[in-house]
Chains A and B, each alone.
Chain A
Amino acid sequence: MTKQEDYLALVTKSGKRKLKASSLLPYGDDRSRFQATVLFHEAAELERQALSLLDDPSIEVRLGAAIERCACLVLGLDVVESTLAWREVEELSALLPAEVAGAHRDRLDPLVRGAQRDLQELLTGAPVLHAAKFRWDGVAPPERPRARAELAALLDRVPGDAGFHLIAARAAIDDERMDELRRAVERAHRLMPANPLLRASWLAVLGDVLAHPDAAMSRAAAEDELARTHEDLRRDPADAVVYLGFIFASLAAFFVTPPGHEAQLHRQRALWAAEAGVKQPSASSQEIHRYLEAAGPVIMLLTGQTDAVMGLFDMVVRGKLREFGIEGPLDRGPVQPTPADLIRGITWSAARRLTPSRALDLVA
């Protein structure tokens, strides 16, 4: 395809997502609203990609693209990202005559003003979280019930902000509520699919789904998602941390699948990820490569779900089980955890490490 054809393909995809999102949003139920926010985020990203294909676009064309991105993020109910996009609109507008910029912005400006009023209202309604700069670890334990209620109200109003879902993930880790953790991490990942930490977090959670499927996601659906991720990673290499998440999910699939060809397939994929991941850079931590390098030889040992392997995992994960209280006190006798128990213990640990706890300094 030529550059022009690529551009056309991207804007057409973006436009169709916007129409779909516009048609879903009015249904008003949680699922439709969230799906609409995801589609608006995808449209915003496609607009960015389309602009990058243009050779030396004029400031007016760049402003047009920035306006579209900003509008998609406002309509996608994303407080943080829409604010950043709005800054870009303002910067580009300053480079054009006021009447030219104004003609482009006559629809966006009222939209943004409305979003800013909403944000002010949201901040007023969330004093505990606001005081803690939306950092869950900054909320004192006695204040947490109130902070949880504020967070639920925030997520109801602005389900398109990945940052708020991450706060919900931190809260779920503290409460040891795996269903809420899964939902929060999945939503954050769907809103920001290119974020490697969120993608790795989602893969860690997917490992838990494979061991503990529920009504929200079946094991078959989780296996499909894992297979798709494998294909995606083979086609488009990612940050090394994503491979670490993929290894965990693949090993979870290996342990919960009856011995045989399918189980070996998961092991092979985990091995592939250890080898491929170590060649990729990581923006999050250099330690990732040490883990990936160590993972390969361990996976090589996993030729079957033998007692020895379970013993190894027992030893490694004992501490985690105790930490999360999944089994009874160890002094009552030897712990005989199932693979599913082990996977859950590791998922908690991984989620705690992978879920960022950043301050959001929101100002309306």
Chain B
Amino acid sequence: MTYALESLYEHQDFDWVVDSIPYVLAWIADDATGDERRGRLFKLTTTRPGREMPEQMEIDLIWSLDALKQRDAALLTRVERLCSSHTVDREHIPENAAYGLALVAISILMPGRRVIHMLKGRAPDFLFDVTPGALRGVEVAGRTSGGFAALRAVRLEKSPKLKTRQDLAEVHLSLWCAGPPVSELHQITP
């Protein structure tokens, strides 16, 4: 499946997208500011409760810098700062990039669902239903390297904790690795 990053502006609210995309480009693009259409192919594994075999698919994430710049005129400046400024705390780049990529996963695999809230003190990171006591959302993580093995470790750490939460009516895990470019999406509950 091919997904154009600029489509995120149609599928999610502007405010969620505009601050995530610079991080996505700084994290996964070899030459983020090169003036042409570029892309990155992700291998994606998805699982759901009750379904034994995971599903495999590919997401060809492409982007047009011209189209992205039309939505965020400061995009290239922001990406350049993230890539080259000496003040930048690069530890946070995977975390913020994974937010943007999770928005991609939600837009592709849960069509019509829109993120409306973000949690910082507890899981999950993104919510698309904020009904107190019956939250629905997606927990997100990004790893710079390690591929599926690194993502598996994250899944094994996070899944049991999410399952113990009584206030989560539905929760997914969206995990991303930049090198090699792989991703997992797991439905933890219900």
In the docked arrangement, what's the CA distance between A115 and B147, Å? 31
Does B167 contact A64, Cβ atoms closer than 8 Å?
yes
User: Shortest Cβ distance from A260 into chain B, in angstroms?
Assistant: 38
Does A16 contact B118, Cβ atoms closer than 8 Å?
yes
Does B122 contact A61, Cβ atoms closer than 8 Å?
no
Among B93, B96, B132, B166, the residue within 8 A (CB) of A57 is B132
Binds B, one of A101-109, A183-191, A303-311: A101-109
Q: A23-B19, A64-B132, A67-B121 are in contact. List 15 more A-B contacts (CB 8 A).
A: A11-B130, A12-B117, A14-B117, A15-B116, A19-B99, A22-B95, A27-B88, A54-B132, A57-B132, A67-B122, A68-B120, A68-B121, A72-B120, A103-B161, A107-B121
Binds A, one of B52-60, B62-70, B79-87, B169-177: B79-87
Among A16, A43, A100, the residue within 8 A (CB) of B15 is A16
Contacts of A103 in B (CB 8 A): 161, 164-166
User: Shortest Cβ distance from A53 into chain B, in angstroms?
Assistant: 10
Chain A's closest residue to B130 (CB) is A11
Does B133 contact A58, Cβ atoms closer than 8 Å?
yes
Given A25-B92, A28-B85; A61-B132 close (CB under 8 Å): yes
Chain A's closest residue to B23 (CB) is A23
The total of chain A residues at the interface (CB under 8 A) is 40
Does B19 contact A26, Cβ atoms closer than 8 Å?
no
Given A8-B116, A19-B99; A25-B122 close (CB under 8 Å): no
Interface residues of B in 85-105 (CB under 8 A from A): 85, 87-93, 95-96, 99
User: Shortest Cβ distance from A81 into chain B, in angstroms?
Assistant: 14
Does B117 contact A60, Cβ atoms closer than 8 Å?
no
In the docked arrangement, what's the CA distance between A171 and B132, Å? 46
Is A71 on the interface with B (CB-CB < 8 A)?
Answer: yes
Contacts of B132 in A (CB 8 A): 54, 57-58, 61, 64
Contacts of B127 in A (CB 8 A): 15
User: Shortest Cβ distance from B90 into chain A, in angstroms?
Assistant: 7
Chain B's closest residue to A72 (CB) is B120
Does A26 contact B89, Cβ atoms closer than 8 Å?
yes
Among A19, A64, A106, the residue within 8 A (CB) of B16 is A19
- One digit per residue, 1 when the CB lies within 8 angstroms of any chain B CB and 0 when it does not, for chain A 110-128 equals 0100000000000000000
Give how many A-B residue pairs fall within 8 Å (CB-CB).
108
In the docked arrangement, what's the CA distance between A35 and B120, Å? 17
Chain B's closest residue to A103 (CB) is B164
Chain B's closest residue to A104 (CB) is B122
Chain A's closest residue to B92 (CB) is A26
Is B183 on the interface with A (CB-CB < 8 A)?
Answer: no
Does B82 contact A11, Cβ atoms closer than 8 Å?
no
In the docked arrangement, what's the CA distance between A117 and B130, Å? 33
Is A99 on the interface with B (CB-CB < 8 A)?
Answer: yes
User: Shortest Cβ distance from B178 into chain A, in angstroms?
Assistant: 16
Interface residues of A in 140-189 (CB under 8 A from B): none
A interface, CB within 8 angstroms of B: 7-8, 11-12, 14-16, 18-20, 22-23, 25-29, 43, 54, 57-58, 60-61, 64, 67-72, 75, 99-100, 103-108, 111
Chain A's closest residue to B22 (CB) is A23
Is B107 on the interface with A (CB-CB < 8 A)?
Answer: no
Contacts of B82 in A (CB 8 A): 26-27
Chain A's closest residue to B157 (CB) is A106
Chain B's closest residue to A107 (CB) is B122
Contacts of B23 in A (CB 8 A): 23
In the docked arrangement, what's the CA distance between A287 and B130, Å? 46
Q: List 13 A-B contacts (CB under 8 A).
A: A14-B118, A18-B119, A19-B15, A19-B99, A23-B22, A26-B90, A26-B96, A27-B82, A64-B122, A67-B121, A67-B122, A68-B121, A104-B122
Given A16-B15, A16-B16, A61-B133; A26-B93 close (CB under 8 Å): yes
Interface residues of B in 173-187 (CB under 8 A from A): none
Does A12 contact B19, Cβ atoms closer than 8 Å?
no
Contacts of A67 in B (CB 8 A): 121-122
In the docked arrangement, what's the CA distance between A107 and B89, Å? 21
Among A19, A105, A108, the residue within 8 A (CB) of B118 is A19
Chain B's closest residue to A61 (CB) is B132
* Most chain B CB inside 10 Å of its own CB: which residue of A29, A71, A107: A107
Contacts of A60 in B (CB 8 A): 133, 166-167
In the docked arrangement, what's the CA distance between A8 and B13, Å? 14
